A and B are shown apart, each in its own frame.
Chain A
Amino acid sequence: MIRYIAMVLLAGLALSQTTPKSMVAAYDAIADTILATKKAEHNIVAALLDGHFHGAQAYHSSGQFDKAAAEMALFGNEGDNAIGGIRKKLLEGGHHHHSDAEAKGTYEPGFVIITRETKQNVLKTVAAYRLAKSAGDREKAWKQFSELAHAALSP
């Protein structure tokens, strides 16, 4: 069947020397869908990170520091292991959100928003937050995390 369609297409090309408009339109629509899907992927990860940030903020404000640290760490890891599983599935299917930047080491494979550098900085901040010996130290770590989170989520 595929061979038949290709033959018809090639026959059309041979006659007109141009790709039929219907084929161009179809491929163009698919391209829009691919790009929209990639944008949607970015948006859902941003929403997920936003959820972790606000979760951390709520726990921090209410003095539930262990839970705040957990949310902060999940922010740095761009989601929990369930999200990691989806990332793994996408990678196995050949989808890399930032293939060039991954090759340069900027992003871990499959990560969409959190860069390798941001992840390391967030995790260091989480450790400082968790091990803070005073309220002042904890506030300092929280401020650092807030800055990192805002920078990561800024458009």
Chain B
Amino acid sequence: MEPLTWTGSLSVLNPIFLGLWALLGVSVLAQIVTSFFGTEVDVVGDQLVVKKTPNALAGMAVKYSFIGAVLITLAYLVGGILIPGLEAKGIIGIMATRFLPVWIALAVTFALSITFKRKLGLYGKLFDSVVGMIGFAIVMFWVFTAIFGAMDFIVTHDPLSQISGLKNKVPGTAVPDGNDVYPYYLLGGDNLARDVFSRMVKGSWEVIKIAPFATLFAFMVGITLGLPAAYYGGKLDTILTFLANLILAFPVILLFYLLVTPEIVATGIPVYMAAVLFIFPIIFMVILINSRFYVQPAKRNIYLAFVLVIGLWLYAGIAWNADPFGIIEFPPNLLVVFVSVVFVNSPTVFRIVRGIALDIKTRDYVAAGQTRGEGPWYIMLWEILPNARGPLIVDFCLRIGYTTILLGTLGFFGLGLSPESPDWGSTINDGRKLLSIFPHPALAPALSLMSLVLGLNLLADGLREESLRD
């Protein structure tokens, strides 16, 4: 069979598309250059009117060429979904069709969120900022891709199966006859003749299932230690700050090389670290509930019992791999990666929380709480923490991005995850050896990782703008 082209029967649009991008680039440059010259003003009748300057002209060119480029991109995607026949769709069209569940989920999410945005607090306000919406769309695209990919909806091939004759083949290569699978390798084959597209989609699950949770755990550890350090000060603060600086002074990669090795896993050190680090979320939740409801013992006991049962069950399963019901299990390979990422991130969170709490604890409402006789933990968790949420939420988004980069770094050095794992870092590492001859196996995961982190950064930017408006 013939190899696929990128845009199939929509290739008539290609020259216009390229032309628009060229125009966009030129006009952006022109606009930047012309912006250094001031504007002139004319008097028309009794009004001051700004003259049409080259800058405004360039601005219009930027606007229309950008709109045009976006429209044609949409045409590629929508057209690709609507046109029947694989050859006519082209690679982009087929990929758009494969991602159909993701598009539907995204559309539903956005429709619901925009309809009810006034009732959704900070999350709803996100939909007032264009940057925030773009970021959110990119992030959710990858989240849905990960979820549907894990359910085998989007992938075209098994990410581990090899088809002979497709080693390092370019995108759109047809699978040789006699193989009873999907007839094309959409983004080509890698150096072990596996499908790059399917590996990219499966790899997003590897990232999405670790990064947010690791960041969440790091936040729990950082908050549980950072609040008392700032609130009590003194020796506790000195010791904790020294420990945090100690971990921060470690080059991250050296730490990973020392911690994430099969030898260290054999000694059981990651399990002990997990045992220490993962107890913090439980402590956090227990203190949170106890400080709020200790005046209503009946209510508190129910909540506490609930949290402790669920928490300790997860704790036994995740940290000690000793779930009494055998439902939760955490492979030691993954545990060491998870623990190291939490370990590296929590000192930074600690410093941020401590800094904000040091500022907030001098406010009048904290003094008022102390005068009312509120306990120290109530003040920390129910007076200080909610008022520190803005910067913390923004940092949370940025930190997920940073964790994603860290996970990629781990994969890039071949640490932790199994060598066959389709996660993006490992795939980039596999592809880099033949980079100057066959760039496509490394390029797909590289661009995916970049877009996810970019989305998280844009989301954080949008959230920051909107939370400052309060």
Q: Do A and B come from one complex?
A: no
What is the interface of chain A, defined by CB distance below 8 A to chain B? none
